[in-house]
Amino acid sequence: MKVRNIKKKRVVVAMSGGVDSSVAAALLKDQGYDVIGITMQIWPAFVPRTSAGKPDLAKLSSDDPSGKHESCCSLSAVEDARRVADLIGIPYYVLNFQDIFKKKVIDDFISEYNRGRTPNPCIRCNQYIKFDALLKKALELDADHISTGHYAKAEKEGGRYVLKKADDRNKDQSYALYTLSQEALSMTLLPLGCIEKKETRKIAKKLGLAVADKPDSQEICFIPGNDYAEFFKRVSPETIKPGPIVDVKGNVIGMHGGIQFFTIGQRKGMGLARPEPTYVVKIDQKTNTLVVGSKGDVLGDELILGEINLVSVDKIEGPVKVRAKIRYNAEDADATLYPLDDKIKLRFDEPQHAITPGQSAVFYRGDVLVGGGIIEKGTS
C-alpha cells in the first residue's frame, strides 16, 4: 500500500536572537511545522566606539568591527539566533532589509522628530518590515505562515481575523501590532500569546537554549545607547536649532538646544531652575519653541487619530465605548470613539497624561483590539 506524503505547513519565524522568538520557533517545530528561521539585517551590525567606550556615530559603518551595537540586528543577535536554529534543527538565513528599513523606519523617525512629533519606530517596523517585506519573502519561500515572538493572539472569529491581548497582561504586545492587515493576520502565528514570559524562559532552559536568561532589549535598535542627541547630531545636524522655552502664558524662561531632544510630558533636560516640576506641554515646530508648564497642563481628555487601521471591524458607526491607551506602557482607560470621515476622535472619560502627536493610540472591546491610529493632535 502506497503511503501518501503529507506536506507539512511551512512557517517563517522572524528570529531576533532573543528568548521570545527563539522559543516561538522551537514551539512551532515541536508542533510539526516546517520551520525556517530568518533574521532581518536592518541596521549595521557594528558601531565603533570612542576612547571613552561610547558609540561613535560619526564612524558608523556596517563593515567596521571595532565595537558591537547590541540590538535585534547586531552580529551577536545573529550568532545567538543561528545557534538556536542549529540546536532545534531548522534552516536559518540572514536577509538584508537595510534599504527598506532606512526608508520606512529610520527616515520617518528623523522626519517626525524634526516636526516636533514623537513616532513609534517599532510599530512601523512591524507594519512595513516584519509583516510586509518579510511576509512577501515568506510567500516566495512557499510558506503558509509567518511568526514572531510577540505576546498577543491572532485568531479568526466570524469570518474576520482579530488580534487579542496576550494571557500575560504584563507582556501584552497587541498595541504594537494594530497596523496588521487582514492578509497579514490570516498568515500570522503567535505561539507565545497563551503563555507567560516566565514560562517562556523555563521552556528555553529546558531546551538548553543559551538565550534563556538573555535580557529583553530596552532601546531603539538603531540608536546605540539610546543616545538621541548623538544620533541627531550625526544624521540631521542641519535641522538642530536652539530656540526659546516659554511658559503657558508665553513668557520666555529659557533656551533649548533643539526640539528633536524633547517629547510631550518630558520633565528633564531643559536646564530650567524652577521651584516646581516643569513638563513639556507643547512643541511648536513652526516657531521652534518649547511650551512648558505644570503637571496639570499636560493632562488632556481628547485627541484626533489619523492613519486609522481597523482590525476587528470593517467600520465604526456612531459613538462606540472602548478601552483605549495612548502609548505602549500606558494603562487602558474608558473612552468613546467618534468617527470623523477618515479620522477618529477619541474622548477619554478621565484626563490622560501627555497625549503625544506621532504616537499611536489603540482601542479595545474586552480582549479584542478594535483598531488604532496615529495621534495627530490632542487637548491639554
Same domain, 285 and 185: no
Structural domains in the chain (count): 3
**Number of other CB atoms surrounding residue 298 within 10 Å:** 23
Residue with cell 465604526: 316
The CATH code of the domain that includes 365 is: 2.40.30.10
Q: Let me know if residue 176 belongs to a domain.
A: yes
Q: Let me know if residue 159 belongs to a domain.
A: yes
Greater pLDDT, 218 or 162: 162
Query: What pLDDT does residue 61 have?
Result: 41
What's the CA gap between 352 and 354, in Å, rounded? 7
Q: Let me know if residue 231 belongs to a domain.
A: no
Q: Is 221 a catalytic residue?
A: yes
Same domain, 140 and 280: no
Select which of 72, 73, 125, 194 is catalytic.
125
Rounded to two decimals, what is the model's pTM? 0.89
Same domain, 319 and 277: no
Note down the domain range covering 260. Answer: 241-293
The CATH code of the domain that includes 47 is: 3.40.50.620
Q: Let me know if residue 2 belongs to a domain.
A: no
pLDDT in tens, 262-286: 999 999 888 888 888 999 999 999 9
Select which of 72, 73, 122, 221 is catalytic.
221
Same domain, 253 and 210: no
Same domain, 67 and 215: yes
Query: What pLDDT does residue 183 have?
Result: 95
Mean pLDDT taken over the chain: 89
CA distances from 303 to 143, 289, 348, 369, 376 (A): 40, 21, 9, 19, 7
Query: What pLDDT does residue 52 have?
Result: 53
Query: Which whole number is the average pLDDT over 213-228?
Result: 83
Please, which pLDDT band fits residue 4 given cuts at 50, 70 and 90? very low
Same domain, 211 and 321: no
Q: Let me know if residue 4 belongs to a domain.
A: no
pLDDT in tens, 45-89: 444 445 554 445 445 443 333 334 455 556 678 899 999 999 999
What cell does 241 get? 536649532
Same domain, 276 and 307: no
Q: Let me know if residue 3 belongs to a domain.
A: no
